[in-house]
Amino acid sequence: MTDLEKIAEKWQKKWKKAKIFEVKADSKKKKYYVLEMFPYPSGKLHIGHVRNYSIGDALARFKRMQGFNVLYPMGYDALGLPAENAAIKGKTQPREWTYQRIKEMKKQQEMLGFSYDWNRSYATSDESYYKWNQWLFEKFYEKGLVYKKNAIVNWCDSCSTVLANEQVVNGKCWRCKNEVKEKELEQWFLKITGYTEELLKDLNKLEHWPERVKLMQENWIGKSNGVNIKMKIKDTKEVIETFTTRHDTIYGMTFIVISPEHKKVLDWVKGKEIKGKVKEFIEKVKKESLIERTSTKRKEKRGLFLEKYALHPFTGKEIPVYTADFVLQDFGTGIVQAVPAHDQRDFDFAKENNLPIIVSVQPEEKELKAEEMQEAFEGYGILANSGEFSGMSSEKALDAIADKLEKSGQGKRAIAYKLRDWLISRQRFWGTPIPVIYCEKCGVQLVPEKELPVKLPEKAEFTGKGNPLNSVKEFAETKCPKCKGKARRETDTMDTFFDSSWYFLKYCSPTKEKIFERKETEYWMPVDQYIGGIEHAIMHLIYARFFTKAIRDLKLLKIDEPFEKLLTQGMVLKDGKAMSKSLGNAVDPGEIIEKFGPDTARVFILFASNPESELEWSEKGSETAFRFLNRISSLMQENLNKAKKKKKLNSKKERLLQSKIQRTVKNTTEFIEKLELNKAVSELMQLTNELQKFEEKNSEVFWSGIEKLILMLNPFAPHLSEELWEKTKGKGFSSLEKWPEFDKKKIDLTVEKEEEFLNSVKKDVEHIKELVKKEKTEKVKVFVAPKWKWKLLKKLFKEKEKTENKRIEFGQAMKKAAELEKTHKKELKGFVQNAVKKLNEMQEFIEIKEMEVLKENLKELEKEFEAETELVKAEKSKEQKAGNAFPLKPAILIE
């Protein structure tokens, strides 16, 4: 309601004025760096943004209250296509459009009351930011981490630019979902493959990353251990190399497949009759979009015989060489040994082309016969038809065969990765200009450091065709920095993922003179908690890790990994579907803020679901949150007049409430620490209920509960927290208060457990009653026995069951008592005895004529069954090993 809105505005102003969220590096203080993935400024805040920032702000506020020096910044990933598309559509320029959106977005963020240090904010489209993109590019160039090459690249028609491999999702453009084509172009690459091993290995260091993200990166890197095998081509001096991880099947090789893009293919068919056919085939493959080519739905494999034979390295047999579309150019060597018996793809191809099948690995269960096989056997087994290796297991053969290849110089162990170098050229305007000049005489020249940044022109024409930078003469035409002659500027710009690969470093020290102040940056880094969407699991998160390592190797920083903890938040759904503009089902968070204020929006979104799970949007949900906040508010304000004459009480109820308050403090703290914020809110709701039910609203406990509740509310509903804090205390900021600390001493276990315990006893008694009724007996014996004696008891009574018609059952109350006595020895001295007493008293309620309660009186029984003492001992040590506290339980004997 407007009330909450007014409060929000009031406190946002106060915070700003008092500058309470501005921070400085201070080596004396413990730091904590909370970071959300910065947004692309599309203008309006999406509900997913609200969720993202509500999580981050809750943590930032929590850590701040715990006494940490908290860095919590916000910025804008402001370069990129949408601005340019807007320019094509309308009369605006990308710059104008972008900064307008940033303004709008920032306003909304401020309305929500996030505790950012706005002083450190920037946009990647600021010249003072992208200057350092260019600077880094040059440093990387000098280090050999940047290179230009002619390559087959992924081309998106609708974005009219190339894409990195990471940006191709299922053969489609990650942004516009258009099908991606192959195109041959000269482009700039970053040598991320120089860090493949480290990127893979260091995943182990990331203990606090979600397993699935690490797994996705691992898969993306795609390491395969295998061998490269050299094979001579018959009647020539040529040697080709195949890569395989299954060299144990080498004797099953019946043909070779080379990828259609491989240079050798055209070489080989030169001047031959099949040339035409082969060329046609290659063209066909190239024209196919990636999605068609890699579809698993298509089973048939297309290929051609190249009229060449390779010689088997061990047997010297002639092996025909084919080219086929199922072999990829850029994995391994682009050539594979085909073993139809043990690889499904090879099997399919062999069947279609009538190629022989040789079984070289036999599974253990049955014997394979080549003629009868319906599918390939891809498992490990025992080698057959494999010369000297026949009879060996696959596992052993892998090593033995690799050894033999290496010794004979016919091959060596090799590792292949799926990860390729990162293509960063983009044929677009609104990106960081690549600081390179092409001179006819001097070739590729870097723009001298002093001349950085290479600025984007103020204006350009956006026709939607080609890169607008090409048509800006002042930009494209330049002089060679070396010979001062006529030269042309690189008009490709950088992939915007370049910008976001190091932006978290810039927040640490917003200086303009350097890329960053080392000392400050090293103080703040690494990011302690990073929060963002799962969609960046590979692209952004692997690039950022790569940059951090590369920057370390430039000796600019000493940090290996940028993000200590990672939380990947779930999506916000409506009717089970992701919300999106294109589906037209997006909820505007602005409406809720207007209706209920920012606190409500935040509490609702945090309470509705665990941050990692998906969140189902509901209209009612925000009302709940709103009511909850109002309830706290009125609970406090209605009783404010009673606060002055606080009474000290010492009733059981009061002690129970005190315990409850402490439990809430403990649980809430732990939940926020684990970022299980929905549970934290639930805890606060429970405490609110308890406080409301508590009758003595003028008591000290009640008010200490209220105070703690208000403080613990700050991370979730900061404005209301401040308002209520001011009302109780008269001054100050709750945001600057100390987070309530759990005080074990204030928990009154005795009282707390009493009821619980009595209930247990009651249950046991009731159980006894029931048994009595069923068994129609009038006599009951209750033994209180350690658990390790149960086995014995059981045996004992099994006998009696037969001979004397007696039964045994086990209760639980005494166990409870015993456990408590053990873990809380001092507080609960004599609890067990009490329990026994209670149990005796309970007899009154049971219509049993005779009931004995005996504690550990089993010695006599043991004597009766002396042979069983060994059993008892064994059970006892087993229990103790398992660390069971004090497994004392009553055994009930019915006679």
Partner RNA sequence: GCAUGGGUAGGAAAGUCCGGUCAAAUCCGUGGGGUUUAGGACCCCAUCCCUUAGUGGGUUCGCAGGUUCGAAUCCUGUCCCAUGCACCA
Residue ranges in 278-297 that form contacts with RNA under rule CB under 7 A: 293-296
Q: Which of 10, 230, 488, 679 is the binder for RNA (CB under 7 A)?
A: 679
Q: What is the nearest approach in angstroms of RNA to the Cβ of residue 49?
A: 20
CA-to-CA distance for 162 and 467, rounded, in angstroms? 12
For residue 365, give the DSSP letter: S
Q: Which of 640, 643, 649, 685 is the binder for RNA (CB under 7 A)?
A: 685
Q: What is the nearest approach in angstroms of RNA to the Cβ of residue 401?
A: 13
Q: Give 16-73 as a DSSP string.
A: HHHTTT-----TTSPEEEEEEPPPP--SSPPHHHHHHHHHHHHHHHHHHHTT-EEE--
374 binds RNA (CB under 7 A): no
Note if the bond before 786 is cis, omega within 30 degrees. Answer: no
Q: Which of 133, 134, 244, 633 is the binder for RNA (CB under 7 A)?
A: 244
In the complex with RNA, the residue whose CB is nearer, 246 or 489, is 246
List C-alpha distances in Å: 210 to 60, 518, 612.
Answer: 20, 30, 10
Q: Which of 280, 451, 770, 856 is the binder for RNA (CB under 7 A)?
A: 770
Q: What is the nearest approach in angstroms of RNA to the Cβ of residue 489?
A: 36
List of long-range contacts for 573-578, beta carbons under 8 Å, 24+ apart:
573/614, 573/615, 573/616, 573/617, 574/616, 574/617, 576/616
Q: Which of 85, 92, 686, 698 is the binder for RNA (CB under 7 A)?
A: 686
In the complex with RNA, the residue whose CB is nearer, 47 or 327, is 327
890 binds RNA (CB under 7 A): no
**Angle, helices 47-65/652-673, rounded to nearest 10 degrees:** 120
What tokens appear for 742 in the block?
A: 């759990």
- Judged by CB under 7 A, the stretch of 81-89, 319-327, 353-361, 425-433 that binds RNA is 319-327
Phi and psi of 745, rounded to 5°? -65, -25
326 binds RNA (CB under 7 A): yes
In the complex with RNA, the residue whose CB is nearer, 101 or 806, is 806
243 binds RNA (CB under 7 A): yes
In the complex with RNA, the residue whose CB is nearer, 308 or 787, is 787
337 binds RNA (CB under 7 A): yes
In the complex with RNA, the residue whose CB is nearer, 332 or 433, is 332
Lay out the site mask for RNA across 520-559 (x = CB under 7 A, - = otherwise). Answer: --------------x---x---------------------
Note if the bond before 526 is cis, omega within 30 degrees. Answer: yes
Q: What is the nearest approach in angstroms of RNA to the Cβ of residue 91?
A: 37
251 binds RNA (CB under 7 A): no
328 binds RNA (CB under 7 A): yes
693 binds RNA (CB under 7 A): yes
List C-alpha distances in Å: 58 to 395, 594, 674, 680, 712.
Answer: 52, 21, 12, 11, 10
List C-alpha distances in Å: 631 to 599, 689, 706.
Answer: 14, 9, 12
Residue numbers 155-174 binding RNA by CB under 7 A: 169-170
Place of tokens 């690459």: 189
Vertex 188, ends 184 and 189: CA angle to 5°?
100
Place of tokens 């976001």: 500
List C-alpha distances in Å: 589 to 44, 55, 95.
Answer: 9, 15, 26
Phi and psi of 447, rounded to 5°? -70, 130
CA 204 to chain centroid: 14
565 binds RNA (CB under 7 A): no
Convert 226-261 to b/e letters by CB count within 10 Å (16 or more is b): bbbbbbbbeeeeeebbbbbebbbbbbbbbbbbbbbb
- How many residues sit in the footprint of RNA (CB under 7 A)? 78
In the complex with RNA, the residue whose CB is nearer, 172 or 655, is 172
In the complex with RNA, the residue whose CB is nearer, 35 or 256, is 256
Task: Using alpha carbons, select from 497, 536, 507, 523 the residue that is nearest to residue 75.
Answer: 507
Lay out the site mask for RNA across 705-724 (x = CB under 7 A, - = otherwise). Answer: --------------------
Q: What is the nearest approach in angstroms of RNA to the Cβ of residue 798?
A: 10
212 binds RNA (CB under 7 A): yes
Q: What is the nearest approach in angstroms of RNA to the Cβ of residue 293?
A: 6
Residue numbers 403-422 binding RNA by CB under 7 A: 416, 418
Q: Which residues contact 745 (CB under 8 A, 6 or more apart)?
A: none
- Judged by CB under 7 A, the stretch of 321-329, 363-371, 847-855, 858-866 that binds RNA is 321-329
224 binds RNA (CB under 7 A): yes
Phi and psi of 437, rounded to 5°? -125, 135
Q: What is the nearest approach in angstroms of RNA to the Cβ of residue 479?
A: 44
- Judged by CB under 7 A, the stretch of 189-197, 342-350, 423-431, 592-600 that binds RNA is 342-350
Q: What is the nearest approach in angstroms of RNA to the Cβ of residue 301?
A: 5
List C-alpha distances in Å: 664 to 75, 505, 713, 798.
Answer: 35, 37, 12, 47
In the complex with RNA, the residue whose CB is nearer, 473 or 693, is 693
Vertex 855, ends 854 and 861: CA angle to 5°?
75
- Judged by CB under 7 A, the stretch of 22-30, 332-340, 383-391, 855-863 that binds RNA is 332-340
Q: What is the nearest approach in angstroms of RNA to the Cβ of residue 275?
A: 23
In the complex with RNA, the residue whose CB is nearer, 431 or 811, is 811
876 binds RNA (CB under 7 A): no
Largest CA distance in the chain: 116
CA-to-CA distance for 893 and 744, rounded, in angstroms? 40
In the complex with RNA, the residue whose CB is nearer, 552 or 762, is 762
What tokens appear for 637 in the block?
A: 């304000």
CA 17 to chain centroid: 37
229 binds RNA (CB under 7 A): no
CA-to-CA distance for 544 and 551, rounded, in angstroms? 10
Residue numbers 802-861 binding RNA by CB under 7 A: 809-810, 812, 815-816
Q: What is the nearest approach in angstroms of RNA to the Cβ of residue 659?
A: 14
- Judged by CB under 7 A, the stretch of 119-127, 138-146, 337-345, 545-553 that binds RNA is 337-345
Coil, strand or helix at 447:
coil
Q: Which residues contact 297 (CB under 8 A, 6 or more apart)?
A: none
What tokens appear for 102 in the block?
A: 């940033």
649 binds RNA (CB under 7 A): no
In the complex with RNA, the residue whose CB is nearer, 131 or 536, is 536
Task: Using alpha carbons, select from 888, 128, 37 the residue that is nearest to residue 511.
Answer: 128
Task: Using alpha carbons, select from 62, 68, 72 the residue that is nearest to residue 665.
Answer: 62
Q: Give 688-729 as a DSSP string.
A: HHHHHH-S-TTBHHHHHHHHHHHHHHTTTSHHHHHHHHHHHH
Residue numbers 730-769 binding RNA by CB under 7 A: 756, 759-760, 763, 766
103 binds RNA (CB under 7 A): no
Lay out the site mask for RNA across 621-640 (x = CB under 7 A, - = otherwise). Answer: x-xx--xx-xx---------
- Judged by CB under 7 A, the stretch of 13-21, 67-75, 549-557, 688-696 that binds RNA is 688-696
**Angle, helices 700-713/652-673, rounded to nearest 10 degrees:** 10
CA-to-CA distance for 148 and 423, rounded, in angstroms? 9
Q: Which of 153, 336, 361, 851 is the binder for RNA (CB under 7 A)?
A: 336
334 binds RNA (CB under 7 A): yes
In the complex with RNA, the residue whose CB is nearer, 135 or 865, is 865
Q: Which of 49, 301, 426, 602 is the binder for RNA (CB under 7 A)?
A: 301
358 binds RNA (CB under 7 A): no
In the complex with RNA, the residue whose CB is nearer, 343 or 490, is 343
Q: Which of 36, 57, 325, 490 is the binder for RNA (CB under 7 A)?
A: 325
